Structure 1
């Protein structure tokens, strides 16, 4: 009788748990996993430092008494740095999302770009887009965002329960063979929807939808990486990191665009958003 009551209470708690609660618990578990992995990396780094110090002491002793005896070399201890985690897929447990799709492997989008000589290191001027892999409309990704498609259209698409294709079909507003268009597939539908809401409601989306002239570029004033960007893809991938922000079109050369950004910074208008971890 007691077991039956306990089972009934557990079932009641599960039925009352919303999809948002499940997603929140998944985010907490994933963050705990990252923290534990970082702690292991710290311990490994400390072991390497201790071993190097010991090897250095042995080398000094050998040099004083037996110069011909070589000192031991430091063994290569494998570590898993944050950059390594961005390139290696991590299998996640099957967890229901907003649409009942299992979570795929997590990937972190990272970009590195040289800084402008006249700006502090927190403001970056990327020259290459962030690393990514091509995802076409109708792929197996559970969520899909078209940032700049046919006729400057944009949209968010997500797999429905029991469906095997994107509904509505993203290729209706996007041509994968057109390199001027920007689109991306995401492994986490919840995160993709949050990014889409942030992007679609921002001023950057309005600027991206406008036609860019030959002697124009984008200046990102508010975003993850404020800076000057020559193309929409650079702006979205490296500057906005697939989210929202505030950007303007600048008519003129790159040096003039950086001068404009520096003026905005002196006026206190430049705002750098916190870095985000993207699940591809």
Structure 2
């Protein structure tokens, strides 16, 4: 058998390959104008390596997240503890409310007005009549009359009722032992020392005291000697006591606080504070238009201020 070999030239072979390539290209890419770029031509996107600063930022964010988480946990634990404490407080308050009852308001206390000649006393003072000038750091000889009716005193919780002096209303009732009279408060607010007594005023006589039986506010004291009468009148006038008596009398509200005297205390009667509180001597007295409770409060304040003193208690003045 004879083998026949067809010889193909180089040009023919090249042409056939080109035809095959064109045929293959048209089937893969119908639009030859937009042929695909060979894969070897494509350039991959450049990758950016991580820098140290970015790494630090990420670490900081992570650390902040962890810290926030821890703080949230602490907050929630504190919130739970607060709720438990609040619950315990409510239980205690509820138990306390059941056992404790608010007391009802008391009515406003009223105090009956003291009648008679007994001085008002304070329940907080115990026998202040036992106070002596030495306790207060001064002696009776060092106390000089103050020319105003303001100053200290003492309350006697159980004062003895003083011996009342009868105010004469006519010459027939005058004691022959009294040779001089001191008028502390007379008709038309007159005061002075007198050596005779006249019931009415038919005509003026020097050294005579004119009175009327209708004048119930007069304050008169008879003395056995001119010397004693002068001492009493001068001391009561210089210390301002007589000036207090010239105020218009108010039997409802008038209170006399004897702060320095024979028996300091609170008095409601003019004759009483002159005879019992001062012993017809000079002293320091305050006059207030207040109720009984307020009078005691004022007296307590004077006591706290150290203005209370007993004077003229042992000089036997009335025996001169």
Q: TM-score when scaled to structure 1?
A: 0.51
Name the SS of the counterpart of 1:206 in structure 2: helix
Greater RCO, 1 or 2 (C-alpha within 8 Å, sep 6+)? 2
259-268 or 200-209, which moves further after superposition?
A: 200-209
Alignment partners' CA distance in 2, 1:230 and 1:117: 18
Q: 4+ residue stretches of structure 1 with deviation over 4 A?
A: 111-115, 125-129
Q: Are residues 137 and 196 of structure 1, via their aligned partners in 2, closer, same or farther at CA, if it must alter by over 3 Å? A: farther
Deviation at 1:178, TM superposition (A): 2.1
Deviation at 1:257, TM superposition (A): 0.6
Partner residue in 1 for 2:164: 131
Alignment partners' CA distance in 1, 2:122 and 2:219: 26
Is 1:183 the counterpart of 2:215? The answer is no
Give the alignment partner of residue 117 of structure 1, picking from 115, 123, 127: 123
Deviation at 1:229, TM superposition (A): 0.9
Cα deviation digits, residues 123-177 of structure 1 (max 9, x gap): 3266965332333475442110111111222111136xxxxxx842111xx3344
Deviation at 1:196, TM superposition (A): 1.1
Partner residue in 2 for 1:257: 295
Alignment partners' CA distance in 1, 2:218 and 2:168: 12
- Report the RMSD for the aligned CA atoms in angstroms: 2.8
Q: Are residues 236 and 135 of structure 1, via their aligned partners in 2, closer, same or farther at CA, if it must alter by over 3 Å? A: same
Query: Does structure 2 conserve the Cα–Cα contact (< 8 Å) formed by 1:186 and 1:279?
Result: no
Name the SS of the counterpart of 2:212 in structure 1: coil
Give the alignment partner of residue 209 of structure 2, picking from 170, 178, 201: 170
Question: Aligned pairs, how many?
Answer: 162
Query: Does structure 1 conserve the Cα–Cα contact (< 8 Å) formed by 2:180 and 2:229?
Result: yes
Q: Unmatched 5+ residue regions in structure 2? A: 1-116, 130-154, 197-204
Alignment partners' CA distance in 1, 2:291 and 2:119: 19
Name the SS of the counterpart of 2:228 in structure 1: helix
Q: Unmatched 5+ residue regions in structure 1? A: 1-110, 160-165
Query: Does structure 1 conserve the Cα–Cα contact (< 8 Å) formed by 2:193 and 2:207?
Result: no
Give the alignment partner of residue 246 of structure 2, picking from 184, 188, 209: 209
The structure having more radius of gyration, on CA atoms, is: 2
Partner residue in 1 for 2:276: 238
